[in-house]
Structure 1
Amino acid sequence: MKNLKEKSIGLLIDLIKTQSFSKEEQQTATIINTYIQSFGVKTHRELNNVWAFNKYYNPLKPTILLNSHHDTVRPNIDYTRDPFLPEIIDGKLYGLGSNDAGGCLVALIATFLHYYDNPNLKYNFVLAATAEEEILGLNGLESVVPKLGTLDFAIVGEPTQMHLAVAEKGLMVLECKALGKSGHAARNEGENAIYNAIEDILWFKTFEFPKQSEMFGPIKMSVTMINAGTQHNVVPSTCDFVVDVRITDAYTNEEVLEIIKAHTKCEIKPRSTRLRPSFIALEHPIVKAGLHLGRTPYGSPTTSDQAVLKIPSIKLGPGNSARSHTADEYVFVHEIEEGIDLYIEILNQLVL
């Protein structure tokens, strides 16, 4: 196990050195593919996604998906270090993507390799190292899932300090257009689309959905962009605005959209309804196994690849979400090492 941990840190160092912005993950996909194959594992690759099944995969057994991503955001302007220079200083491994989600990814790969050639597993494992998570793109995990067979539940590797993110908010972005009629501002002409938009904007600000999530409380709707008018003396005939809707497990995205349309007058076009809220019961075996080992359950406000899964899933991984997307990103080496141990301990406790 010590050797596997050392190799995992070496893999993460190689990944940090290699630019892998969303949609540009070709090189890191190759690195991951080659690394897994070096252990004698047969891999599959499509675009920038790599996946593999345990050696004695049996379709009659339950299957657990181990997933994390290898794309990164672009480094922000506040970096004081080279984001592609991996250095270990005082136990911290610095570099872009080290915390989000490189530490999680290499720890899950190590976990998969630990179980890979065990002929007596009670369940199957499928490992998926996927692309485009940071933009929730169509060519990431969502495109791979149909190729993985029947899945019973998933562990999605994101930095949670190895605590149990048992719920995650969904996201729906609405493009809204309030209509009016143009006219001269100096005369009593036209119908001001801005005023019509204000009525709906006030509704978005004040409306409370009847059902609330036990984990998250109420759904949050925020008007975040607005645009109208062409010149000062013309009453605008349209007013466009954007609404960010963070959906809880109390509703489906479709139910929320139906309620919004029933209460507003503007034209509403959702950019997407595919980023769904997720929730796994506290009685689920993977949660019970984590609780037995002293892990704490909580609801995560951030969106991950859980949003495109239609099976129970838990977000769990080494690192700290507060470091994600920050300048001079880092993960502690001991967090990765302990994360590997905890993944294995939790899975050893698991009774499906």
Structure 2
Amino acid sequence: MAIQELTNDAISLLKQLIETQSFSTEEDQTALHIEAWLKRYEVDYKRTKNNVWAVNKYFDKSKPTLLLNSHHDTVKPNSAYTKDPFKAIVEDGKLYGLGSNDAGGCLVSLIATFTYFYNQENLKYNLVLVASAEEENSGPDGLNSMLKIIPNVNVAIVGEPTLMNLAVAEKGLVVFDAKVMGTPSHAAHPNDNNCIYNSIKVLQWFKDFKFEKGSEALGDVKLTVTQIKAGTQHNAVPADVDLVIDVRVNDAYTNTEIAQILQEKSPCDSITPRSLRLNSSSIPMDHPLVIAGIEIGRTTYGSPTLSDQAVLSCPSLKLGPGDSTRSHSADEFIYLNEIEEGIKIYIELLNRVIA
């Protein structure tokens, strides 16, 4: 199958996806475009809610399985756009439009790669393609919902913009809700237990606290107080202060361990994790995918941003065309030659590992 033909069709598909609104939970129409591609290439596929998925033609249960995954939902466009976010505009080698970089370019490149290998016999790995929904909002009907439906996965490539370098680890995320208590009172009366003043030492504790274990790939755990809320009127001291703490977790800790440490050590009156399911991810440096990527000149790094890797328990590699710094930005774009390069690198990488 000609790679250039796949590349041209992938760019056409991306233009269709850009021009079709697909906010998280609203991906039904972009799913139809993905289905149309697979029908055209005679790929036997299935759809579960807004997730479209397929396995290679000669799937063999005795072989390990490699997941190729990226998402077709988008965030909502911000107010700084100067171009129509729902119009695929090509200028100076750039394809503009909402979702072009995050993660449409990755998605269509992985679909093209899967299609390239779909009819090949005697592959060393099975391939499973999942064009997933609800990645941007970590929703219940995204990739996490597919893991009990698709065949068991041994390793995964998750398509997110990495400039086609190998993100061999990714930080997890735990968001905590915390309270600092005090004594409510009228502002005119003395009060030595003002919760707002009590929160000063708590905020300082969070500012100064360091988790002990670092990571070669991901560095230190990053803890940030991101929200604070207290009081409803000027003349009343409230009973409590609400804090929100964002913790980006390296691969030296599980999310459960992070929660236990903060619940034992923090000076809050209460601190509760919203969810523990978005864990850090990694792949061994001696995995064949990593070795092959290095052999073809790709660099390795640890990623601070969250993706669908967080719901996977198997080794996983984040890899895709585009640049993460463009994600969620105004006038989002991807270079057309990034898609062309991305498809070639995906195919070369897999040829070294599965062919």
Please give the range of the TM-score, normalised by the shorter of the 2 chains: over 0.9
- Counterpart secondary structure, 2:148: helix
Shift of 1:189: 4.2
Tell me, yes or no, if structure 1 residue 299 matches structure 2 residue 302: yes
Consecutive unaligned residues of structure 1, counting only runs of 5 or more, are none
Label 1:292 to 1:207 Cα distance change in 2 as closer, same or farther (>3 A). Answer: same
- Aligned-CA RMSD value: 1.4
Distance, in Å, in 2 between the alignment partners of 1:98 and 1:184 is 54
Tell me, yes or no, if structure 1 residue 314 matches structure 2 residue 304: no
Label 1:184 to 1:76 Cα distance change in 2 as closer, same or farther (>3 A). Answer: closer
Alignment partner for residue 341 of structure 1, among 344, 350, 354?
Answer: 344
Alignment partner for residue 69 of structure 1, among 53, 68, 71?
Answer: 71
Report which stretch shifted further, 221-230 or 25-34.
Answer: 221-230
User: Where does structure 1 differ by over 4 angstroms across 4 or more consecutive aligned residues?
Assistant: none
Shift of 1:190: 6.4
Q: Superposition pairs for residues 132-281 of structure 1, below 5 Å?
A: 132-189=134-191, 191-264=193-266, 265-281=268-284
In structure 2, the residue matched to 1:57 is: 59
- Counterpart secondary structure, 1:93: strand
Consecutive unaligned residues of structure 2, counting only runs of 5 or more, are none
Q: How many residue pairs get matched? A: 352
In structure 1, the residue matched to 2:120 is: 118
Q: Percent identity?
A: 56
Question: Does the aligned pair in 2 maintain the 1:191–1:237 contact within 8 Å?
Answer: no
Alignment partner for residue 331 of structure 1, among 299, 317, 334?
Answer: 334
Alignment partner for residue 5 of structure 1, among 4, 7, 18?
Answer: 7
Distance, in Å, in 2 between the alignment partners of 1:136 and 1:17 is 23
What TM-score comes out, normalization by structure 2 length? 0.96
Distance, in Å, in 1 between the alignment partners of 2:191 and 2:305 is 46
Alignment partner for residue 21 of structure 1, among 10, 20, 23?
Answer: 23
Report which stretch shifted further, 207-216 or 303-312.
Answer: 207-216
Distance, in Å, in 2 between the alignment partners of 1:48 and 1:262 is 41
Question: Does the aligned pair in 2 maintain the 1:200–1:266 contact within 8 Å?
Answer: no
Distance, in Å, in 2 between the alignment partners of 1:171 and 1:106 is 27
- Counterpart secondary structure, 1:194: helix
Distance, in Å, in 2 between the alignment partners of 1:328 and 1:186 is 52
Shift of 1:351: 6.3
Shift of 1:150: 1.5
Shift of 1:229: 2.0
**One-letter amino acid of the structure 1 residue matched with residue 145 of structure 2:** S
Question: Does the aligned pair in 2 maintain the 1:64–1:154 contact within 8 Å?
Answer: yes
Distance, in Å, in 1 between the alignment partners of 2:326 and 2:239 is 45
